[in-house]
Structure 1
Amino acid sequence: MAATLCQVMGFVLSLIGIAGIIAATAMDQWATEDRFNSVVTAVYTYSGLWRSCVRQSSGLSECRPYFTILGLPALLQAVRALMIVGIVFGVIGCLIAIFALKCLKMGNMEDNIKATMTLTAGILFLLAGVCGIAGVSAFANLIVQSFRFTTYADSGYGVLGGSDIGGLSGGLTPRYTFGPALFVGWIGGAILVIGGVLMCLACRGMTPDNKQRYDGMAYKAASQHTIYKSDTRPRPAYNDSYKAQSMDGRQTNQRFDYV
C-alpha cells in the first residue's frame, strides 16, 4: 500500500512538473525590462527563447521571432536544447509510468517488471528536472551578465538579442531582469525531481522478495543414536479348528474343520 501511494504521488507530481517546464519553454517573459531608472516608460519590452516582444502603454503587444540562430548567443541555443531534452525525457517517463502503475492491471505483467519500469520512469523524471533547472539557471546567468552593461551600447545584437530588441531604435539597450518564466521553470524542475525521487523509492517497495517460501511438512531425520530393538514377546498360535463342546459344557476330542 505504501509503495502504491508513493508511486501515484510521484506520478502526479511529475505530471505537474512537466506541465511547468512546457509552460516555461513556451512563455515569452523569460527576460523582462527593468524599469528602474528607465528613460522610456511608454514602451515595455520582454523576450523569451523564441521571440522578443514589445508592449505599449495602450496595451497593444507586438512580437518578433528570432529569424536566425546565427546571431543569437551560444548559451541561448544551449538553453533551448536543454529545455527540449527535458520535455522529451519527461514525456517518455510519463508514458512508461502509466504502464508501470501498480493500481492498473496490464495483462499478466509481473511485479518485478513493473518495478523496473517504475525505476526507469523515475530516472527519466530526474533527468528531465535536472535539464529544466540547468536551462533556466543558465538563462538567469545570461541575464545577470547582461545586467552589468550600461543602457547605451553599440548597434547590432547584444547579449539578449541586440539594441533593436523589442522595436527600440538607436543606441539604447534596455536592461533585463528575471521574468515569470524563470520561476515557473525552476518550480517545475524542482517538482519533477521530487516526483522522480518518489518513483525511485516506490520501486524498492514493489520489488518482490527473492526468498521463495514453500508450504509443506517438515520431516525430521532419525538421529544416529536411535536404536531399534526386535520384539521378543511370544506370539500366540492360531488354529483354525476348535474343540466341540458337549451339551453339558464338557469338551470333547472331536474337532471340526471349516473350509
Structure 2
Amino acid sequence: MTQRMVVMYMEIGCLVSCLCGWILVCSTLPTEYWTFSEVGSIVLTTSNYYSNLWKDCISDTTGVSDCKDYPSMLGLPVYLHGCRALAVCAVITGFFGSVLTLVGMKCTKIGGSELANARVTFAGGITYLVSGCCALITYSWWANKVVREYLDPHFRAQKFELGAALFVGWGGSVLLLSGGTVQSYFSGKEGLPSPSSPERPRRPATYATARTRRTYMLPASSSRVTLVPPLFYEGRKSRESRATTKAGRTFSRDSFV
C-alpha cells in the first residue's frame, strides 16, 4: 500500500470521527437535560427539574411537564451568554470544517494539485480543532458552575446535578479534537514547508549580476571607499597585461634587427 493510500484512508477516518463528534455536539443543544434535580414532596408525587441553555422545565410522575424560556437576555448571567456563544461557534466551525475537509480530501478530487488539497485539508483540521475547543469549554464551564454550587454549603437555592447532555457533549468534543489533531498533523506535514529542509543552491554571481546598485553602495565603516565589480578589474588587468606582452615582444624583435 502506497503512502498516498494510507493518507487517503486516514483522511476518511478523521472525517468520520469529526462528523460523529459534530453531530453529538449539535444534538445536545435542543436537549433539556443539561442539569436536573429530583425533589420528592409526597410519597407518590415526585417533581423533576431540568434545564439547558435556553429554558427551564419541570415534570412530575403524572406525566405533566411544563417548560419556560428565560425571560430576558439582558437579565441572564455572564456564564450563560458565554456558553451560548461558544456552543453556536462550535456548531458553525464544525460545519465549515466538514466542507473544507470534503473539498481537500484526496478521494474526492475536487481541488487542484496535491499541495493545494493538502493545505485545504489542513485548514479543515484546524477548523475542527477550534470547534472541539469551543464545545469542550462550553460543557466544562457549565459543569464547573453546577458542581461548585452543589458542593457549596452556603448555597441555599435549588441544587442541580450534571445531566446526560454534558457527557454526550464531552464525547463529541473528544472526537472533534482527536480527529482534527490527526488530520492537521498529516496534512500539514504534506502541505506546509518544513523549516529544517535544506535550502536550494543559489546561482553563482556573474558579471551581469555583480554590477548592481548594491555593488556601488558605500560601506558603513568608510565613506570614501567605493566597491566595484572585481571581474571588471580582472578583465582590464588581463587586457593590459596582454598588451604589454605584445609590445615587449615587438620591441625585442626590432632591437634584434
What amino acid sits opposite 1:197 in the alignment?
Answer: T
Q: Measured at CA, do residues 185 and 50 of structure 1 come closer, stay the same or move farther in structure 2, by a change above 3 Å?
A: same
Q: Measured at CA, do residues 187 and 89 of structure 1 come closer, stay the same or move farther in structure 2, by a change above 3 Å?
A: same
* Cα distance in 2 for residues equivalent to 1:44 and 1:53: 8
- Superposition pairs for residues 198-237 of structure 1, below 5 Å? 198-204=182-188, 206-207=190-191
Query: Aligned match of 1:59 in 51, 58, 63?
Result: 63
What amino acid sits opposite 2:176 in the alignment?
Answer: L
Contact 1:4/1:202, CA 8 A, preserved across alignment: no
**Matching of residue 187 in structure 1 with residue 190 in structure 2:** no
What residue is the counterpart of 1:177 in the other structure? Answer: 161
Q: Measured at CA, do residues 2 and 148 of structure 1 come closer, stay the same or move farther in structure 2, by a change above 3 Å?
A: same
With the length of structure 1 as denominator, give the TM-score of the two structures: 0.67
**Matching of residue 143 in structure 1 with residue 127 in structure 2:** no
Contact 1:151/1:174, CA 8 A, preserved across alignment: no
What residue is the counterpart of 1:44 in the other structure? Answer: 48
Contact 1:122/1:197, CA 8 A, preserved across alignment: yes
Query: Aligned match of 2:114 in 106, 111, 114?
Result: 111
- CA deviation profile, 1:109-164 (whole Å, cap 9, x unmatched): 100010000100000101110110011000001101221456984xxxxxxxxxxx
1:201, CA displacement in angstroms?
2.8
Contact 2:118/2:187, CA 8 A, preserved across alignment: yes
What residue is the counterpart of 1:134 in the other structure? Answer: 137
- Superposition pairs for residues 77-88 of structure 1, below 5 Å? 77-88=81-92
The gaps in structure 1 that reach 5 residues or longer are: 154-172, 212-259
**Matching of residue 4 in structure 1 with residue 30 in structure 2:** no
Contact 1:151/1:175, CA 8 A, preserved across alignment: no
Higher mean displacement: 23-32 or 123-132: 23-32
Q: Of Structure 1 and Structure 2, which has the larger fraction of its residues in helix?
A: 2
* Cα distance in 1 for residues equivalent to 2:18 and 2:186: 14
With the length of structure 2 as denominator, give the TM-score of the two structures: 0.68
More RCO (CA 8 Å, sep 6+): 1
Q: Percent identity?
A: 27
What amino acid sits opposite 1:136 in the alignment?
Answer: Y
1:67, CA displacement in angstroms?
2.6
What amino acid sits opposite 1:117 in the alignment?
Answer: V
What residue is the counterpart of 1:17 in the other structure? Answer: 21
Computing the radius of gyration over CA atoms, which structure comes out larger, 1 or 2?
A: 1
* Cα distance in 2 for residues equivalent to 1:192 and 1:209: 25
What residue is the counterpart of 1:89 in the other structure? Answer: 93
1:56, CA displacement in angstroms?
1.2
The gaps in structure 2 that reach 5 residues or longer are: 198-257
1:6, CA displacement in angstroms?
0.9
* Cα distance in 2 for residues equivalent to 1:202 and 1:6: 9
